[in-house]
Amino acid sequence: MAKQQAAGQETLGEAMDKTELFFEKNGRKLTYIFLALLVVAALVFGYRTLIAQPRVERAAEMIAEAQNRFEAENPDYQLALEGDANGAGFLDVAEQYGSTPSGNLAKHYAGICYLRQGDWENAAKYLAKYSPVKGIPGALINAQNYGLQGDVAVERGDYAAAVKFYEKAVKAADNNLTAPMYLRKAGLAEQAQGNPKRAAEFYEQILVSYPASMDAREAEKLLGGVQ
């Protein structure tokens, strides 16, 4: 027993010696690493405070004028896109501040502007650049983005892709207002590619899941037309 204990103590001692030896040999390196981590932490904090936050605020200021032009009674989509001396356009915000929330939203708006102008290629390009965001307001924008990508796909004659986008739109914001609308569009896209049975499934889903929605009555009519 004594020999076993001694052996154990020797092993423990050896381990302690190895630990002390390690710190003696690498103490300076470890100190440098620790200091480097502190510097990185300070840089991250400084970046957020001195660089990231001002960028977020500047992007929000820039997108405001473009939104005003977009939402005007007689919107000028080209001006909203490109801006002028009086204010930036969505393309400017997306290019300069694309990593900020406003920059991300600018990509979505740019896609809509191109869609309104009938430029399907650029509409698809910028709508696809938008990154879905979290939260209820964000979910509605996410759904709209997918839905608009579906609309672009329809305009380009790619009905299969349109259906997938509309289904994503339903999942992004499952509510009584937008979900049945996108289900109806998905049904119409299926009809356009000669799939009445699949179209009927979308219309039936509206009647079952969203019977009080504005699209329910229309879905009932459409269902009667494909059965």
User: In this structure, what are the phi and psi dihedrals at residue 83, rounded to the nearest 5 degrees?
Assistant: 70, -175
Tell me what pLDDT residue 153 has: 97
Residue pLDDT, tens place only, 147-205: 999 999 999 999 999 999 999 999 999 999 999 999 999 999 999 999 999 999 999 99
Please list the residues that pair with 109 across neighbouring strands. none
Tell me what pLDDT residue 136 has: 80
Residue pLDDT, tens place only, 35-77: 454 444 444 444 444 446 777 888 888 899 999 999 999 999 9
The model's pTM: 0.76
Residue pLDDT, tens place only, 15-36: 444 444 444 444 445 444 444 5
Q: Which residue intervals of 86-158 are DSSP H helices?
A: 90-96, 101-116, 120-129, 136-155
* CA separation for the pair 141, 67 (Å, rounded): 15
